[in-house]
Structure 1
Amino acid sequence: MADTKKVVIDKKNKYDRQLRLWGDHGQSALESACVCLVNVSAVGTEILKNMILPGVGSFTIVDGNKVSGEDVGNNFFLTKDSIGESRAKAATELLSELNDDVSGDFVEESAEKLIRANPDFFSRFTLVIATNLCERELLELDSLLSKRNIPLLVCRSYGFIGYMRIVIKEHTVIESHPDSAHEDLRLDHPFPRLIDYCNSLDLDSMDQKDHSHTPWIVIVYKYLQKWKESVCIRTNKEGFPLDEENFDEAVKSVNTALVPSSMPSEVRKLFEDPCCKNLDSESSSFWILVRAVKEFVDNEGKELLPLRGTIPDMTADSTRYIQLQHVYHGQADDDVGIVTEKVRRIEQSIAKEEPVNTLNMPPPNYENCISDHDIKLFCKNAAFLRVFRSRGLAEEYNSKTANLQEIAQHLGDEDNDDDDFVFYVLLRGVDKFHEEYNRYPGVYEDQVEADVTMLKTSVQKILHDWGLNPTSIKDDYIHEICRYGAAELHTISSFIGGAAAQEAIKIITKQFIPFNNTYIYNAMKQSSLTVQL
């Protein structure tokens, strides 16, 4: 028992900073995750490094190539002594040294062979990260993972250009951690507990000490009632005691405290989503909870979400502050109790339904499958719920289903010559070049000039398929891409590796909002662009 307690304490000390970001439950999700990296590239090992250090559960590297001198030159996790050995094995051994809590494995096989020979291999992973895959292999991997609803993170470092793409059918976020959010105080819609507590305090009859230790929420409520009675707005501190910090706080906070309580538009969209309206035996717990909250809003909530139940720090004596906390906590608990009853009823109704699939499988046992803790967490964060859905790569790469409106917006205007989207087009051209010539442009110094012409043709074919001007990409950009020779620069790989690991952790922990859905980094200008393709 003592040893177990020591391990828990050591982990809390070891992961202290990140626990403050995503909490124990986020860390638990990370530690139970199994991540697959396809190809030992510089950017790939940088991504894994930044996931191993915070304690991802396990990782597996898939790569059938041997370590070359070029690999050693740009990858800190491959050494000169490992030249000629398996890249997957060598990288796994060095990466595993970063954290004893993480287990690493490797498969000395190319992704292409593995997809065709053993497609079920990828089913056990929480997330697959693909680096430096050609277009054909990438589309095959995307198709395989899409059928199994496994998220795919595509990353690339190409000269001075970085690229990331998230492919995921549906990603739900409960704890989105908004940068700024108004407190949920309900002073414009006071609930009975709050009214009773505020009315129990008589500011006029208090002595100076009690007066100055009253929470500012009570002060704002009292003066709001006076304003309602007199139908008069005071824009100064007339009538407020001087030199009392709690009254100063009330003045400073009144504008944000009286922001009207309303339904966020993003949450309203979720209520109208078919996944919320049409629950069945395949519905996820997220949508069951959304439905329960919607029913609460439509009935007991009177068009308002469950109370968040938190109050900000403020000048007040401990007794009154704790009393005010109990007022908000009590109302929040009541709201959670109502939502919990609705969740249990929905679970029971779903458990009685026949499964919608045709595999002759029994329906899931939905009864009480959503924990009370999860329901409480959901209600607390109900105002910040988000759903992320991205298009598949097959849709993006097919000119008939590509997002031509977004593409044209970036390339159709002559004033957009400096738009970083041009590098997305060039990377697509590079892949088309590779598909035709089985190598990347510029890899051989004596063929760079010839490759410029051939890459230009590849880019023009893509633009033509999109219905855009085939000459809209300047020759200078073509020359620059050929000059890169498909080289991975470690500084660029390190930057993209850090950014990609951050997005991967968002997906695994289901906290914070990932980018949607394509990210392009231009190191020459230190600029970046996010587009939905």
Structure 2
Amino acid sequence: MMETTVHVQLANKEQRYDRQLRLWGDHGQCTLELAHVCIIHASATGTELLKNLVLPGVGAFTIVDDKTVTGADVGNNFFLTSDSIGKNRAQAALELIKELNGDVSGSYIDKSVEELLEREPDFFHHFSVVVATQLPERPLLRLAEELWNCQIPLLICRTYGILGYLRLVVPEHAVVESHPDNTLDDLRLDKPFPRLAALLSEGASRLRLADHQEHSHIPWLIIIAEFLRRWRVQHSGKLPSSYKEKDAFRKLIKEGMWKDGTSAHRTEENFEEAIRHAALAVMPTQVPPEVEKLFSDDCCENANANSTNFWICLHALKGFVENEGNGILPVRGSLPDMIAESASYLALQAVYRDKAMEDIAAVRKRVADFLLQMGRPADAISEQEIRLFCKNAAFLRLVRCRSLAVEYDPKTVSRDFLGNEESVSEDLGLYLMLRSVDRFFLQHGRFPGEHVENIEPDVLLLHAEASSLLQEWDLPTSPPQNMLVEFCRCAVSELHPVAAFVGGAGAQEVIKLLTKQFVPIDNTVLYNAVTQSAVTVRL
């Protein structure tokens, strides 16, 4: 009876999370369900982001917020009602958010970030990711430093009138499953391993039989391999590389299509498939530049007992490439579908699969030997993790962010982003305003335009703060007047459409960080709600 109940629960979970399971798989969902996320402030931006974490089933969340609900909160936050006014904002929002998914555990802390950092600095050390929404500069910098030292990712999400802002702050984030678009199949036709070479030779012999021999059952992979052999004989062993050469190679395959008793060409689907796949199938097999760069990283070359699993696996992978792999990565082991008789296709599939398993075993041995050498258990890194690493070896990615302290220091500010123009670009202007309103807050205890009837004095005060920043950045220009007026006019308001966009985008980034799948932003996104445009910049 209990076993039946478990099966029903698993079936219900698969049905509920069907779409996302297709994106990040069972292991990604499991990682998500084990995570504990901290959300600072149950603002409109914070609750929109939290909604998009609770629905896919994040394990647990904690809201940190000492503010009480006001009428303005009720006006722009779907998770607050008029009955919430006067209550703690986190407590009030929690009641409705938890209704979205009964599998998710939620709690709140009625304290400010400043108080927690002062009295319980290790409070934030136990979270998988911390998300700071609508947090002023001073506590934000303190929080960022605390999390940076603990290697805990911080995602800053902010909505300020027309501006949406996302900033990822993490020393290092390694991605094994980056899920790139338009990946090439790992066929190795230019560098076939022994068993593949033997199978291709056998298939080519069948292909070269008399013209009247039916060969429509031969997989297109073998067809391309045979005509690639002929091409290389005629071109000093070189692969077709230019567009002109690849077009000539396709014509060579087309000319080899089986002819019947008449002079007319007979269309054969496997030859048509070979022609369609020809250009990509003959791409040279090599280690991608991004992975080569990782191999030369100090963390790879000097991997040690304290290294993360990523760097230990990468160190072993580099050793494999330099030795067993003969200069190339482990075989991925997958094979695209193709028109062919089952026996021929399954034989090809088995060759690639077996070679992939052989390569995984070689990398696994290198990982185990290294772990033992470092005084750690040989199985400290699971076989499943090594298998996943080898399968995605060509798509490994690494994101390293600059700390917020470095970004805010005029001596180390990003010159690539600031440039040296005599006028402020739109993107720089948005960033300038964001930094300027924070400085305004530090000076006056409120944001420009807030709680005032006439914004003109605040426009002048904000102009002074922005001009001071531009001077620190050594930019010979003036702040844009239209942005000064707009940021004073919006008076730190959270427009719900902007909050919904930032919250949705922020939740995606959190899920990337938790599942270690897909590549997160590097490292800042600025969103202009007026022009409906977003730009990624590295600060």
- State the partner residue of 2:332: 308
Check whether the contact 1:156–1:162 (CA below 8 A) recurs between aligned residues: yes
Check whether the contact 2:168–2:522 (CA below 8 A) recurs between aligned residues: yes
In structure 2, the CA distance between the partners of 1:440 and 1:344, relative to structure 1 (3 Å rule), is same
- The one-letter amino acid paired with 2:368 is R
- The one-letter amino acid paired with 1:92 is L
Q: Distance in 2 between matches of 1:427 and 1:366?
A: 49
User: 2:390 aligned with 1:395, yes or no?
Assistant: no
Check whether the contact 1:461–1:470 (CA below 8 A) recurs between aligned residues: no
User: 2:53 aligned with 1:51, yes or no?
Assistant: yes
Q: Distance in 2 between matches of 1:131 and 1:210?
A: 67
- State the partner residue of 1:362: none
- State the partner residue of 1:340: 364
2:442 to 430, 435, 440: 435
Check whether the contact 2:448–2:488 (CA below 8 A) recurs between aligned residues: yes
Q: Distance in 1 between matches of 2:249 and 2:36?
A: 59
User: 2:230 aligned with 1:226, yes or no?
Assistant: yes
1:134-153 residue pairs with structure 2 within 5 A?
134-153=136-155
- The one-letter amino acid paired with 1:474 is P
The two structures have a TM-score, normalised by structure 1, of 0.94
Check whether the contact 1:430–1:440 (CA below 8 A) recurs between aligned residues: yes
Q: Distance in 2 between matches of 1:208 and 1:251?
A: 21
Check whether the contact 2:76–2:496 (CA below 8 A) recurs between aligned residues: yes
Check whether the contact 2:34–2:58 (CA below 8 A) recurs between aligned residues: yes
Q: Distance in 2 between matches of 1:521 and 1:466?
A: 22
Structure 1 residue 400, shift from structure 2 partner: 1.6
Q: Distance in 1 between matches of 2:378 and 2:360?
A: 18
1:100-139 residue pairs with structure 2 within 5 A?
100-139=102-141
Structure 1 residue 228, shift from structure 2 partner: 3.0
- State the partner residue of 1:356: none
- State the partner residue of 1:481: 487
Secondary structure of the 1:26 match is helix
- The one-letter amino acid paired with 2:293 is K
Which deviations, in whole Å up to 9, do the C-alpha atoms of 1:299-342 show, x marking residues without a partner?
Answer: 11111111111111111122221111111111111111111111
Mind listing any 5+ residue stretches in structure 1 that lack a counterpart?
Answer: 352-364
User: 2:396 aligned with 1:379, yes or no?
Assistant: no
Check whether the contact 2:429–2:480 (CA below 8 A) recurs between aligned residues: no
User: 2:303 aligned with 1:279, yes or no?
Assistant: yes
Structure 1 residue 195, shift from structure 2 partner: 1.3
Structure 1 residue 225, shift from structure 2 partner: 1.8
Structure 1 residue 197, shift from structure 2 partner: 1.2
Structure 1 residue 205, shift from structure 2 partner: 3.5
Q: Distance in 1 between matches of 2:98 and 2:476?
A: 49
Q: Distance in 2 between matches of 1:480 and 1:366?
A: 60
Check whether the contact 1:30–1:508 (CA below 8 A) recurs between aligned residues: yes
Q: Distance in 1 between matches of 2:373 and 2:495?
A: 56
Structure 1 residue 402, shift from structure 2 partner: 1.6
User: 2:368 aligned with 1:330, yes or no?
Assistant: no
Secondary structure of the 1:338 match is helix
- State the partner residue of 1:262: 286
Q: Distance in 1 between matches of 2:212 and 2:117?
A: 76
Secondary structure of the 1:420 match is helix
Q: Distance in 2 between matches of 1:425 and 1:142?
A: 20
The two structures have a TM-score, normalised by structure 2, of 0.93
Secondary structure of the 1:521 match is strand
Check whether the contact 1:173–1:386 (CA below 8 A) recurs between aligned residues: yes
Structure 1 residue 87, shift from structure 2 partner: 0.5
- State the partner residue of 2:453: 446
Check whether the contact 2:424–2:477 (CA below 8 A) recurs between aligned residues: no
Which deviations, in whole Å up to 9, do the C-alpha atoms of 1:340-368 show, x marking residues without a partner?
Answer: 111110010111xxxxxxxxxxxxx4421
- State the partner residue of 2:244: none
Mind listing any 5+ residue stretches in structure 2 that lack a counterpart?
Answer: 237-247, 259-265
Q: Distance in 1 between matches of 2:207 and 2:417?
A: 62
Check whether the contact 2:418–2:428 (CA below 8 A) recurs between aligned residues: no
Structure 1 residue 230, shift from structure 2 partner: 4.2
Structure 1 residue 477, shift from structure 2 partner: 1.2
- State the partner residue of 2:257: 240
Check whether the contact 2:250–2:275 (CA below 8 A) recurs between aligned residues: no
Check whether the contact 1:40–1:88 (CA below 8 A) recurs between aligned residues: yes
User: 2:341 aligned with 1:317, yes or no?
Assistant: yes
Check whether the contact 2:131–2:156 (CA below 8 A) recurs between aligned residues: yes
User: 2:237 aligned with 1:213, yes or no?
Assistant: no
1:413 to 412, 418, 421: 421
Q: Distance in 1 between matches of 2:534 and 2:199?
A: 51
User: 2:378 aligned with 1:367, yes or no?
Assistant: yes
Which deviations, in whole Å up to 9, do the C-alpha atoms of 1:271-306 show, x marking residues without a partner?
Answer: 111111112221011111001110011111111111
In structure 2, the CA distance between the partners of 1:305 and 1:234, relative to structure 1 (3 Å rule), is closer
Q: Distance in 1 between matches of 2:304 and 2:440?
A: 47
- State the partner residue of 1:498: 504
Q: Distance in 1 between matches of 2:82 and 2:249?
A: 75
Check whether the contact 2:367–2:378 (CA below 8 A) recurs between aligned residues: no
In structure 2, the CA distance between the partners of 1:207 and 1:152, relative to structure 1 (3 Å rule), is same
- The one-letter amino acid paired with 1:238 is E
Which deviations, in whole Å up to 9, do the C-alpha atoms of 1:418-469 show, x marking residues without a partner?
Answer: 5322101101000000000000001134131110000000111111111112
Structure 1 residue 62, shift from structure 2 partner: 0.4
Q: Distance in 2 between matches of 1:366 and 1:385?
A: 25
In structure 2, the CA distance between the partners of 1:448 and 1:312, relative to structure 1 (3 Å rule), is same
Q: What number of residue pairs does the alignment pair up? A: 515
Structure 1 residue 401, shift from structure 2 partner: 2.0
- The one-letter amino acid paired with 2:433 is L
Check whether the contact 1:421–1:529 (CA below 8 A) recurs between aligned residues: no
Structure 1 residue 417, shift from structure 2 partner: 4.7
Structure 1 residue 42, shift from structure 2 partner: 0.5
Which deviations, in whole Å up to 9, do the C-alpha atoms of 1:68-95 show, x marking residues without a partner?
Answer: 0000000001110010001110111110
Check whether the contact 2:40–2:132 (CA below 8 A) recurs between aligned residues: yes
Q: Distance in 1 between matches of 2:410 and 2:235?
A: 62
Q: Distance in 1 between matches of 2:512 and 2:454?
A: 43
Structure 1 residue 235, shift from structure 2 partner: 5.2
- State the partner residue of 2:318: 294
Structure 1 residue 226, shift from structure 2 partner: 2.3
Check whether the contact 2:304–2:312 (CA below 8 A) recurs between aligned residues: no
Secondary structure of the 2:156 match is strand
Structure 1 residue 97, shift from structure 2 partner: 0.5
